[in-house]
């Protein structure tokens, strides 16, 4: 698939997730990774529910970590969340940088932006701003934020070098990059790396951990580090593979072969780097 087709597939998947969340909540039901007796091993158990400023934002979170746990935020700072989705990390950040600071959420899908704005209003937070745009071309001026965060989104980009350059550009001198993401611990075989469902599921587009660090250094960042926070068991991978359909797989391949290909291949991680003062 072309980069354009991958981006369109990612947009469609997350737009559909936002529409589903809005529909379920409007009907009085539940949504999210831990809802109604279901659990996704990548997205579940990442936050202290009591800290969430919006129950809807918590339920609709599709991340693989908690980037707000990566870094100390103080009043007066400005924060940018790349691929802000339902808005949970933006709202958590906004509470910490108030008064005087702003948390920006950037997302490419109208549906997610509408969902995030709904959660912002629900939480009564007025120093959070949601912006439409791509993480490869951030619609903010140079040196406009102190911290860049992201949660399981950079792996979805087809031009990660552009993402790193843009993150570096919008950071002020002395700024910090602190994201949660999926990283590969070894390269995937090409036939699995091209599976669309594994792209939109945050695995096939992930960088090998060493390439993540080198990409950040090439963009100008200092001291990049990758800290694995969650690895996935055979049982976890079996559950993930069960979400695929035979039509998602390369011809002649089976779901057990997906599990075998992914076992030990990826993990959730915290990635940190800085911009020199």
Task: Write the secondary structure of 163-177 as one string of H (helix), E (strand) and C (coil).
Answer: HHHHHHHHEEEEEEE
d(CA 109, CA 107): 6
The two three-digit tokens of residue 258, written as one number: 């997906």
The torsion of the CA quartet 258, 259, 265, 268, rounded to 10 degrees, works out to 110
Torsion-angle region of residue 264: left (phi > 0), alpha (psi -120 to 50) or beta?
A: left
The two three-digit tokens of residue 251, written as one number: 């011809």
Q: Which of 61, 67, 37, 64 minimizes the C-alpha distance to 49?
A: 61
Task: Calculate the alpha carbon distances from 84 to 80, 87, 98 in Å.
Answer: 9, 5, 19
Q: Which of 22, 148, 30, 26 minimizes the C-alpha distance to 84?
A: 148
d(CA 207, CA 1): 18
Supply the pLDDT for residue 50.
Answer: 66
Supply the pLDDT for residue 25.
Answer: 53
Supply the pLDDT for residue 32.
Answer: 46
Q: What are phi and psi of 38, to 5 degrees?
A: -105, 155
Supply the pLDDT for residue 47.
Answer: 81
Write the CATH number of the domain with boundaries 3-274.
3.40.50.150
| pTM given for the model | 0.90
Q: Mean pLDDT for each consecutive 10-residue tract of the chain (277 residues)?
A: 84 89 59 46 76 84 87 96 96 97 97 95 96 97 98 94 98 98 92 80 90 98 96 89 83 87 93 97
Supply the pLDDT for residue 115.
Answer: 95
């Amino acid at each position: 698939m072309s980069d354009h087709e991958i981006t369109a597939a990612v947009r469609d998947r997350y737009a559909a997730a936002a529409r589903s969340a809005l529909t379920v909540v409007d009907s009085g039901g539940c949504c999210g990774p831990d809802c109604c007796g279901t659990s996704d091993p990548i997205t579940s158990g990442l936050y202290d529910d009591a800290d969430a400023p919006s129950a809807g934002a918590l339920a609709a979170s599709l991340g693989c970590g908690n980037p707000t746990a990566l870094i100390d935020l103080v009043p007066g700072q400005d924060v940018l969340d790349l691929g802000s989705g339902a808005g949970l990390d933006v709202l958590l950040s906004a509470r910490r940088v108030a008064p005087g600071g702003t948390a920006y959420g950037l997302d490419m899908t109208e549906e997610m932006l509408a969902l995030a704005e709904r959660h912002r209003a629900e939480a009564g937070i007025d120093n959070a701003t949601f912006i439409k745009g791509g993480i490869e071309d951030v619609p903010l001026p140079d040196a406009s934020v102190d911290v860049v965060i992201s949660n399981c989104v950079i792996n979805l980009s087809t031009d990660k070098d552009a993402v790193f350059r843009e993150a570096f550009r919008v950071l002020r001198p002395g700024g910090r990059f602190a994201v949660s993401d999926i990283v590969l611990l070894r390269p995937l075989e090409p036939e699995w790396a091209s599976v669309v469902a594994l792209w939109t599921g945050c695995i096939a587009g992930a960088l090998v951990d060493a390439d993540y660090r080198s990409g950040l250094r090439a963009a100008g960042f200092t001291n990049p580090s990758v800290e694995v926070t969650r690895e996935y068991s055979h049982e976890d991978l079996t559950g993930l593979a069960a979400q695929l359909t035979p039509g998602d797989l390369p011809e002649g391949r089976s779901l057990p072969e997906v599990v075998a290909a992914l076992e030990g291949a990826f993990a959730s991680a915290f990635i940190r780097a800085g911009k020199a003062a």
